[in-house]
């Protein structure tokens, strides 16, 4: 079973909004998924994503392949987490 980390569209027509999910690559885009990792809103200018990096890294370590868009989002999330002051 090949597992992918990809986007699942949940927005209405003209107002796209996506969830970042872990899914079997054979399942349809908006179909069955294994785990929800976060959200992505392409219409927002800043802070347009929210993702659980720990779970994403876990799934990648288990062999899940992120899509190109999700790979870009994860890279931005890691930079944002590194730039945030440690509390």
Query: 22-40 pLDDT, tens per residue?
Result: 999 888 887 888 999 999 9
What are the C-alpha distances in Å from 19 to residues 9, 45, 52? 6, 17, 12
CA distance 86 to 17: 30
Contact status, residue 25 vs residue 2, Cβ threshold 8 Å: yes
Domains and CATH numbers, the chain: 3-83 (3.30.1320.10)
Task: Supply the pLDDT for residue 65.
Answer: 94
Question: Token digits for 68?
Answer: 């190109």
Contact status, residue 34 vs residue 22, Cβ threshold 8 Å: yes
In this prediction the pTM is: 0.86
């Amino acid at each position: 079973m090949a597992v992918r980390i990809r986007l699942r569209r949940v927005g209405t027509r003209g107002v796209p909004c996506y969830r970042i999910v872990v899914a079997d690559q054979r399942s349809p885009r908006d179909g069955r998924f294994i785990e929800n990792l976060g959200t992505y809103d392409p219409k927002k200018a800043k802070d347009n994503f929210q993702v659980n990096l720990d779970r994403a890294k876990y799934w990648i370590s288990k062999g899940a392949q992120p899509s190109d868009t999700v790979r870009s989002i994860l890279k931005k999330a890691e930079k944002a987490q590194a730039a945030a002051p440690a509390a």
